[in-house]
Amino acid sequence: MTRRFAQLDVFSPQPTRGNPLAVVVDADGLDDGQLAAFARWTNLSETTFLLPPAHPDADYRVRIFTPGGELPFAGHPTLGSAHAWLATGGVPKAERIVQECGVGLVPIRRDGERLAFAAPPLIRTGSVDQAVVAEVAAALGLDSTEISAAEWVVNGPDWMLLVLDSGERVLSLQPDMAALGTHKVGVVGPYPSGSPISYEVRAFAPGVGVPEDPVTGSLNAGVAMWMRAAGRVPPEYVAAQGAAIGRAGRVYITDDGTDIWVGGDCVTVIEGTVAL
């Protein structure tokens, strides 16, 4: 069967930057094995499959796959899927788009051409065990004393967050992917006050087939939620990610006092059909 297909770059308005995403728009009728096989075939960090919603308040339902398996939620697939759904004729029931996925309903708002999703609540928080921190620090080439905080920021993917003293130190990391093993590690460091970019972010998940993710919406959402709880999040800031692997992107964070919105630009690079 022929199905509509698009490949996008998310968290960038320019092709070949940001985080690539494959979207199968008409995925109804495909079984789990077909979804997983196609996600492995695209060899991208995530591939999404759009389906009719099961919840009456949702506009569409999405299933999100990495080459290693299915995720209940991920950030750049949320924005990219919404972009592809709109571009192929989707019309939301209300002012905001509502996506249904493994963590429930995720609101998405439009700000011109830019989309933003409401960060889902953290389902696991707290400090990371020091033995695990030491193991991960060694894999990243860090001394444990360089890490000012090590926290769980789990909103779907099991992200472990390490906070360093500067964005430059984050960019300098040269991780040993084999030593990282199954750990999903996000690293963040600030830039000086007044800089156009507030934080540099990197994300490593070799255990699910993604050695380094170019730009990671779920991690940036978790970082912002953790910073709010710690009293650190400003009303708005911009995070940079992807420069270390030639896929520079920007994540726009807004805290409206109720929700934290994680925004970014999207651009369609390939559109057509696939035989599945």
SS (H, E, C) 134-179: HHHHHHHCCCHHHCCEEEECECCCCEEEEECCCHHHHHHCCCCHHH
Whole-angstrom CA distances from 18 to 41, 116, 141, 186 are 20, 15, 25, 17
Whole-angstrom CA distances from 58 to 61, 81, 107, 212, 262 are 7, 14, 9, 32, 19
Buried-exposed string 190-219: b where 16+ CB fall within 10 A, e elsewhere: bbeeeeebbbbbbbbbbbbebebbbbbbbb
46 given a catalytic annotation: yes
Q: Return the closest-CA partner of residue 170 out of 111, 234, 219, 121.
A: 219
Q: Which of 46, 100, 151, 200 is catalytic?
A: 46
Alpha carbons 158 and 66: distance in angstroms, whole number: 14
> Which residue bears the tokens 């571009």?
87
> Which residue bears the tokens 């930057």?
17
Is the CB of residue 264 less than 8 Å from the CB of residue 191?
no
Positions marked active-site:
46
